[in-house]
Structure 1
Amino acid sequence: MKFRHAAAAITALLVMHAAAGQTATPAKPASAPAPAATTAANPATDPATPGMPTAETSTAALKPGDATAGQGKAAACGACHGIDGNSTDPQYPRLAGQNEQYIAAQLADFKSGKRMNPIMVGFAQPLSEQDMHDIGAYFAGKASLPGVADQALVEQGQTLYRQGDVDRGIPACMACHGPDGRGNPGAHYPQLTSQHAKYVEARLKGWHDGGTPNDGPRTKIMVSIAQKLGDKDIAAVASYIEGLHTNEPTAAAPATP
């Protein structure tokens, strides 16, 4: 009897052990997806390069420029460029009506050192990419005040702006900046209309003298064009650009909510 009881006990233990083994086996797949769950909890992590944000996450984080938010962020800019982007000192460019993409791109270049300016580098350093677009949106929504051209230079300046000079290999300015000088936001070609003649002249002379080693591809185009211009050409086209505007006030771009 004792033997039978012992055998029965051993059999029961074996059955329980087998049952436990059967229930434990399917539990392994349930724990296998744990790494995936961890990844899902941190969607900003790129599985291919742990710790680095994914391109999708970075793109989604950047919103179109918000002009309302940009107003406060652009307060410091007003000291030189005017609170509404219409600077009174011709050494500082007018930003009113300038397209958002161009302003954001230039601020990024100042921050990275691609474009050198000791004053602008300091202002650009603390800005995020979103800040740059917000500031760009703010100034894009402002109307640029019309300038005045020197009538003695209008004819020559207009010819260069609208026709260029085929014999010297100089393309028309309006091919990139538009017949009304509004620029091309998609291609990052800036608005020129009503820009200070002295500022335009200074930029063209800088490019005429060779530009800088870290000039981007679009700027290198301007370097090659400016080197074909004489001093009188530069003065004439710069003056014409300052006086370039329509009879209608510049339509302010709608603010992004």
Structure 2
Amino acid sequence: MVFELILNRCPMSQSRLSFVIFVLRQTALNGVLALGLTLSGSLAVMAGGDIQAGLEASKTCAACHGADGNSGVPMFPSIAGQGAGYIAEQLHAFRDGNRVNVLMSPQAKALTDTQITDLAAYFAAQKRVVKTASTDDSIPGAHLWKFGGHANTIAACAACHGAQGQGNQPAGFPALRGLTSQYVLESLMAYRNNERKTEHADIMVSIASKLSDDDMHDLAKHVATFP
């Protein structure tokens, strides 16, 4: 493609080049989606799920993630308003063993494909509520988020997850606002340890492998400040 030919002549690492090409492809894809689809906040139509059926199936999820997907427990993520496609992908990963968690794996193994689609539609339709944004920000974390780092070998997190962690649902990048620093830190470490093998995990595995422990702590602190 034209932008690949241009970028191949730019002085940047191969990993950085590959990632930039990926983001540009996703941007182009978003433009096509915008022309052909009317996107709702829930993406329930795209997911093809039944929100009411998802509500019924969500009863067992409430103890950890909250009845409407807004968790009140730091170790469990809020999933309200998350992209339906991303939720479904994670549930499939838990069910199929590509992502392992002592609590989620057994729950997901009992789900049918239809139930996964319905649950994804239900939680995507809920409004995410940031109950208490942290005021303990990290300047290095904010810089990594906005601009990337390590001599341009780490892409800016905002490029995919948005300036305020709102995510990019059409491209499949999850929202991170409303997540606790504890959960974000654990997630980054899991990616660095290659413990998540979901369909698009390779992007985060590559990025996390370049982050130091301090980088991860700084990013986690910054994400927790998003309103």
TM-score range, shorter chain: 0.7 to 0.9
Deviation at 1:132, TM superposition (A): 1.0
What is the aligned length? Answer: 181
Does the 8 A contact of 2:82 with 2:124 survive in 1? yes
Query: In the alignment, which residue of structure 1 is the partner of 2:134?
Result: 149
Matches within 5 A, 1:9-24: none
Identity of aligned residues (%): 36
**Which residue, out of 129, 153, 169, partners 1:185?**
169
Matches within 5 A, 1:227-238: 227-238=209-220
8 Å contact kept, 2:69–2:123:
yes
- Out of 145, 154, 171, which is 2:155 matched to? 171
Which residue is 1:200 aligned to?
Answer: 184
* Unaligned ranges ≥5, structure 2: 1-45
Which residue does the alignment assign to 2:95? 111
Structure 1: which 5+ residue stretches go unaligned?
1-61, 246-257
Q: Contact 2:76/2:183 (CA < 8 Å) preserved in 1? A: yes
Aligned-partner SS, 2:200: helix
Select which of 97, 108, 117 maps to 1:124.
Answer: 108
Change over 3 Å in CA distance of 1:144–1:189 after alignment to 2 = same
State how far apart, in whole Å, the 1-side matches of 2:191 and 2:182 are: 14
Does the C-alpha gap of structure 1 residues 158 and 63 become closer, same or farther in structure 2, counting only changes over 3 Å?
Answer: closer
Q: CA RMSD in A?
A: 2.0
CA distance in 2, matches of 1:211, 1:67: 33
Structure-1 separation of matches of 2:205 and 2:64: 26
Normalised to the residue count of structure 2, the TM-score between the two structures is 0.73
1:77 correspondence with 2:73: no
Distance 1:144 1:195, change over 3 A: same
Report the alpha carbon displacement of residue 142 of structure 1 after superposing the two structures with TM: 1.7
Match of 1:211 among 194, 200, 203: 194
Q: Give the aligned partner of residue 5 of structure 1.
A: none
Q: Quote how far apart the aligned CAs of 1:101 are.
A: 0.7
Runs of 4+ residues over 2 Å off in structure 1: 149-152, 184-188
Contact 1:96–1:141 (CA<8 Å) still a contact in 2?
Answer: yes
Give the superposition deviation at 1:159. Answer: 1.1
1:184–1:190 CA contact under 8 A, matched in 2: yes
Tell me how far 1:63 sits from its aligned partner: 6.9
Shift of 1:187: 3.0
Query: Contact conserved, 1:150 with 1:239, CA < 8 A, in 2?
Result: no
Secondary structure of the residue aligned to 1:158 is: helix
Q: SS where residue 151 of structure 1 aligns?
A: coil
